[in-house]
Every structure is written in structure tokens, then in C-alpha cells.
């Protein structure tokens, strides 16, 4: 069975030593009393839940999967899942970062994100059941009526009910303007909704008494395309005036998808047969509410791959220290054994350090993004809220695509460390690879994230938001530019920062002449931007480590951080040169290929 130790020390390093989140949190009235000790204590308990409750049912849940009953349309989750969910609810974990007005604990979002990273490491498929509820909760809190909030939010925050987002249909994925699900007004404020949805995570299960579906549908007079989409609440069971459960609604599971990974997460085909729903927000403005869910989900998906990267690394590291095979090229290291542990071999170390660098860089970006979201929601200064929102919008596609791409690379290389044993189910490594693969696909494929970054977030405002992140890099360069010990970290990001300006302008000019140029360059562009962002955070982490070492701190944690930073800049960051070169080759080599693709 796989092992997992919650990375509490590294979380604390990022939050308290690099980002100093307590100071930012205490500047907001909602978190005026928050301190590092409280955050650490909550996450320590959260780590125990992940490691002791969720990890033991991860491989067994993957093996057993979910069971679908055709006659009743019911779905049964694997053995132990329902009991684990009951412990999750009893521990108050569902309410962690939710609004106290509706029964939440009101803790910072960064605490919830770190908790979810640990749950994703321990059991990504299980974590998806409560995870989808957070997005539905956020959409209702932002766009629901007072009556809707009173009816649904208390139960969702307590964990008694879960939520979903029902977007995709059999004939359309991300292009929601093609959707056909219809909503007929009934004259009493309700609608009868009919249609079919697919790929609905946690769409049906036995963990809770009710499931609150947020469904996209079209009104009879809706304009065509995305401008004619409305959002509706469609509960599995109707809710009576006294908040008790009423009749079974006309929404049910028509089947489960048979998947490569996350097999114990019920990915449902949902049938709506004159199901009763109520409108969320304004008619034909459903994407406003849905984007709240989608953006939360995109951050969550990045967090899923972060969790898998961490747990894969931990297992590969332990195996590499224990497994003996061949001798070191520079002579025997374990002379008392017939062979050396494979960790002595350079390429094994490269694989391990790749996963470690991607995990720790991803954690820094995830925590930073969580704080931006916190400021956007709760900061008292409107200018700070606006600035935070703009930066978060820029970073969201990078969180989703860059971290998940890296997660696929990291889980694959960590499986490689195991050799043939990595391909065997009992070790758990092949499951991490299978589970990681979906993260590059759902909530908008990584290509769509790349188009969003380059087309909407960068070129649409002539790089204004990108320049705001550039200012963060500029400030760090100005602070450490004359520090010789920081040169190996500062010089690469300073050079790439300058190159990004020219690179972006060049792609914008070419895209203005031919939009396919943006499509051809976008994926490469996002990875360049991702490395620039990771490079910034790795430089900041190296800065803290160097200062601690200079002050006489002998904790090996700081030396390890410094060594990982050096590896990242030496072996991973240089990918940017190749990416910029391939991005500049243009669209012709892709689009002028009718004969090749005949």
C-alpha cells in the first residue's frame, strides 16, 4: 500500500516564512484574530484525517469502484466511503472556510486549500464528493436569493447535502453555447427542466440524503449561443417549507462512466425529466454563476494534481532509498550490501527532484492564489480587491494547466522510479498516474486554459495584467539584484521577464493578422508563463532559505530547499527556451497539413 505523510512543514514554510499570510489575514476584519498557531493546529488535524481515514481506502476504493443499480438509478460508493464521509462531517471539515452566517467556521480559504491538498494526496476520488460542493456553495452565495440561501446553504455547509455542477451534454463539452437542455416556466416561480448531462462528478451517490445540482438550461425565448444560458437549482429531493425533504425530483442517474482513473468517484450521466428547478440569478445570465463554480473548480483541479505529485514523490523517494540495484558509477556506496540503493543513480535523482520541485513550486503558487482569492472577497480596500481579482484571473489557467501538466509528468516519473513494480497495482503508483490524467482534461482542457491565458487574460488588455505580475518579479530583482548568492535564482527570472514582453508582443501582432497564430502558440506560451511564475516563487523560497542559513539556522530543511531550487533552475526552468522557439514557428506547419491529415 502507498504511504503518505502530510507535508505540514513545507506548508508552514510557504504560508508563514515566504508569504507571511497571518499579517495579510489580520488586515481583514473577517480574520483579524487569525494566527499561525491556529492555522497549523487545524492543518495538523486535517492531515491526520487524510492519512488515517482516507489513505487506507484509496486502493481498495479504486479496485471496487462505484456500483450502479439500473432499476432504482441508485449509486453505491465503495466500502468505507460512507463511513469516511460521516467522519468528515462530524469533524466539521465541510464548514471549514464557509460563511459563519450559514453555519460555516469562517477560516481562511488557504486553510481549506491546504486541507484539500492533503485529501487529494490521500484519496483524490473520495475528495471529489465534498469538493464539488464548495463550488456550488460559492455560486449560490454569490448569486442566490435570500430564500435560496436559507434553503440550501446551511445543509451544504454542514455537509448534510452535497452539490454538483451540471454543464456538459453528450454533444458538447466546453462549448456550452451548443447545449440543448430546456427549462419551461410554470408560472409559480419554478421551471420544468428536461435534458441530458454527462461527466457529472459526484452526480449520484449514497453519502448524503440530498444532492443539490446546479444545472445550465435554456429558457424558451433564450437567444442562441452562450448568451442564452440560464442557471437553475435542481435538488435530487425537493425541499419543503420547513426544510425537510419532500418528493423525489425528476432528476436521476442514467448510468456511470467507465473511466481510466478516479474510479471510486461517481461520474454520472444525469437525466432530467421535467425536473423542478428554480432560477439562480437573472434569465440568460447563467454563466455568471457558473463561472464562480468553474473558477473555483479550476483551482481545485490544480490542487488535485498538486496532491498527487506530493504523494507520488513521497512513495518514490522511500522506494529509491530502499531498493538496491547495481553499483554507483563512482564506486560502491553501500559496501555492506550486494548492490547500492537506486537513489545513488543520477537519473533516479533527476526523477525524484523533478517531482519535488513541481510539488513545492505548485504549493507556493496554490497558497499565493488562495490568498488572492481571500483578498478579492474580504479585503476592505476596493483597490486591493480589484488588483487581487485581476492577478487571480491571470494565474487561474496557470494553476489549472501548468500544475496538472506537471502532475502528469511527476506521477509518471515517480512510477518509473519503481521500475516494473510501479506498473503493479499493489504499490499504488499506477493509480496515481491514472488519477492524474483526468486533471488535464476536465474543467476546461489545458489547451482551453492556454487559449484563455494568452487570448483573454494577456492579449485582450495588451498585457496589462501580465505586467502586474511582472512588477512582483521586478521588486524581487531590485531587492536581490546585487546579492551574489541570489544571482543563480534572480538572473533567470529577470531575463525571462524581459523576454516575455517581447515574446507576448510578437505573438499578439501575429495573432492580429491571423488568429490561428494564437491557437498554435498558446500551449507553449502557458508553459513559459508557468515557469516564470514558478521561478518567481522558487527565488522567493531560496531567498528565505539563504537568510536562515546565513543567520546560523542548521535545520536541514533550508539546505534541502536551496538544493531543490538549484535543481529547478538548472534542469527544469531552461525548458522555456525551447518552448519560445516552438511557439514562434507559427501556425502554418500545423494548418497547412491537409495532405498529412487526409
The catalytic residues are 443
Could you tell me which of 104, 102, 127, 98 has the C-alpha nearest to residue 115? 127
The answer to whether residues 217 and 290 touch, using CB atoms and an 8 Å cutoff, is: no
* Backbone torsion region of residue 183, taken as left when φ is above 0, otherwise alpha when ψ lies between -120 and 50, otherwise beta: beta
Sorted by sequence, the CB contacts under 8 Å of residue 94 that are 6+ apart come out as 88, 130, 133, 157, 158, 159
**239 beta partners:** 245
C-alpha cell at 288: 455568471
Rounded to whole angstroms, the maximal C-alpha distance in the chain is 83
CA gap 531, 539 in Å, rounded: 12
Is 217 within 8 Å of 182 (Cβ atoms)? yes
Q: How is residue 507 written as a grid cell?
A: 505573438
Q: Strand 210-217 to strand 230-235: parallel, antiparallel, or no bridges (unpaired)?
A: antiparallel
Q: Is 241 exposed, middle or buried (0-12, 13-18, 19+ CB in 10 A)?
A: exposed
Sign of the alpha-carbon torsion through 457, 381, 39, 96:
negative
What b-and-e string marks burial along 422-447, b requiring 16 or more CB atoms within 10 Å of the CB?
Answer: beeeebbbbbbbbbbbbbbebbbbbb
3-class SS of residue 60: helix
The distance from CA 321 to its chain's CA centroid, rounded to whole angstroms, is 30
φ/ψ of 234, rounded to 5, equals -130, 95
Using H for helix, E for strand and C for coil, what is the string for 220-252? Answer: CCCCCHHHHCEEEEEECEEECCCCCEEEECCEE
Residue 521 three-state SS = helix
Q: How many CB atoms lie within 10 A of CB 405?
A: 21
Nearest alpha carbon to residue 315 among 576, 55, 24: 55
The CA radius of gyration of the chain, in Å to the nearest whole number, is 24
Count CB atoms within 10 A of the CB of residue 328. 16
Length of the chain: 598
Cα–Cα distance, 534 to 531 (Å, whole number): 5
Of 588, 379, 376, 451, the residue nearest 174 (C-alpha)? 451
Phi/psi for 275 (5° steps) reads -70, 145
Amino acid at each position: 500500500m502507498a504511504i503518505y505523510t502530510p507535508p505540514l512543514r513545507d506548508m508552514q514554510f510557504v504560508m508563514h516564512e515566504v508569504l507571511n499570510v497571518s499579517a495579510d489575514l489580520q488586515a481583514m476584519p473577517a480574520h483579524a484574530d487569525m494566527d499561525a498557531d491556529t492555522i497549523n493546529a487545524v492543518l495538523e488535524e486535517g492531515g491526520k484525517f487524510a492519512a488515517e481515514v482516507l489513505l487506507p481506502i484509496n486502493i481498495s476504493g479504486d479496485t471496487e469502484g462505484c456500483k450502479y443499480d439500473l432499476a432504482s438509478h441508485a449509486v453505491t460508493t465503495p466500502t468505507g466511503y460512507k463511513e469516511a464521509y460521516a467522519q468528515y462531517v462530524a469533524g466539521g471539515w465541510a464548514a471549514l472556510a464557509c460563511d459563519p452566517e450559514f453555519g460555516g467556521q469562517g477560516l481562511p480559504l488557504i486553510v481549506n486549500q491546504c486541507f484539500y491538498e492533503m485529501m487529494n494526496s490521500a484519496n483524490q476520488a473520495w475528495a471529489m464528493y465534498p469538493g464539488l460542493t464548495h463550488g456550488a456553495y460559492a455560486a449560490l452565495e454569490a448569486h442566490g436569493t435570500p430564500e435560496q440561501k436559507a434553503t440550501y446553504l446551511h445543509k451544504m455547509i454542514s455537509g448534510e447535502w452535497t452539490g454538483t455542477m451540471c454543464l456538459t451534454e453528450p454533444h458538447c463539452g466546453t462549448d456550452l453555447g451548443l447545449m440543448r437542455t430546456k427549462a419551461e416556466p410554470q408560472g409559480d416561480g419554478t421551471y420544468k427542466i428536461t435534458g441530458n448531462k454527462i461527466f457529472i462528478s459526484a452526480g449520484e451517490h449514497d453519502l448524503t440524503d440530498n444532492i443539490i445540482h446546479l444545472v445550465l438550461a435554456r429558457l424558451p425565448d433564450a437567444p442562441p449561443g452562450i448568451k442564452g444560458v440560464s442557471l437553475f437549482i435542481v435538488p435530487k429531493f425537493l425541499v419543503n417549507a420547513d426544510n425537510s425533504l419532500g418528493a423525489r425530483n425528476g432528476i436521476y442517474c442514467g448510468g456511470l462512466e467507465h473511466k481510466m482513473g478516479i474510479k471510486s468517484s461517481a461520474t454520472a450521466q444525469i437525466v432530467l425529466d421535467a425536473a423542478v428547478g428554480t432560477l439562480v440569478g437573472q434569465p440568460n445570465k447563467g454563466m455568471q454563476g457558473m463561472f464562480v463554480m468553474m473558477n473555483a473548480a479550476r483551482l481545485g483541479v490544480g490542487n488535485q494534481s498538486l496532491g498527487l505529485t506530493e504523494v507520488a514523490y513521497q512513495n518514490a523517494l522511500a522506494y529509491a532509498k530502499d531498493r538496491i540495484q547495481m553499483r554507483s558509477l563512482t564506486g560502491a556506496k553501500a559496501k555492506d550490501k550486494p548492490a547500492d540503493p537506486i537513489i545513488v543513480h543520477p537519473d533516479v535523482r533527476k526523477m525524484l527532484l523533478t517531482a519535488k520541485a513541481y510539488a513545492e513550486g505548485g504549493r507556493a503558487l496554490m497558497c499565493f492564489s488562495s490568498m488572492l482569492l481571500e483578498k478579492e472577497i474580504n479585503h476592505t480596500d476596493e483597490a486591493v480587491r480589484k488588483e487581487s481579482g485581476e492577478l487571480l484571473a491571470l494565474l487561474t489557467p496557470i494553476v489549472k494547466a501548468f500544475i496538472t501538466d506537471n502532475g502528469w509528468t511527476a506521477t509518471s516519473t515517480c512510477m518509473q522510479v519503481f521500475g516494473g513494480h510501479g506498473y503493479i497495482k499493489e504499490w499504488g503508483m499506477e493509480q496515481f498516474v491514472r488519477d492524474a490524467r483526468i486533471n488535464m482534461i476536465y474543467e476546461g482542457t489545458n489547451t482551453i486554459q492556454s487559449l484563455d491565458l494568452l487570448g483573454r487574460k494577456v492579449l485582450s488588455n495588451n498585457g496589462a495584467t501580465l505586467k502586474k505580475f511582472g512588477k512582483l518579479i521586478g521588486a524581487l530583482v531590485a531587492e536581490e539584484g546585487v546579492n551574489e548568492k541570489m544571482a543563480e535564482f534572480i538572473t533567470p527570472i529577470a531575463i525571462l521577464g524581459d523576454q516575455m514582453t517581447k515574446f507576448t508582443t510578437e505573438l499578439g501582432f501575429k495573432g492580429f493578422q491571423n488568429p490561428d497564430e494564437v491557437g498554435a502558440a498558446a500551449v507553449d506560451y502557458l508553459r513559459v508563463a508557468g515557469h516564470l511564475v514558478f521561478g518567481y516563487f522558487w527565488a522567493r523560497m531560496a531567498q528565505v532559505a539563504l537568510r536562515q542559513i546565513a543567520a546560523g539556522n542548521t535545520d536541514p530543511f533550508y539546505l534541502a530547499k536551496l538544493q531543490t531550487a538549484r535543481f529547478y533552475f538548472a534542469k527544469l526552468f531552461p525548458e522555456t527556451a525551447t518552448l519560445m522557439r516552438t511557439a514562434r514557428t507559427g501556425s502554418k506547419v500545423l494548418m497547412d497539413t491537409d495532405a498529412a491529415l487526409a
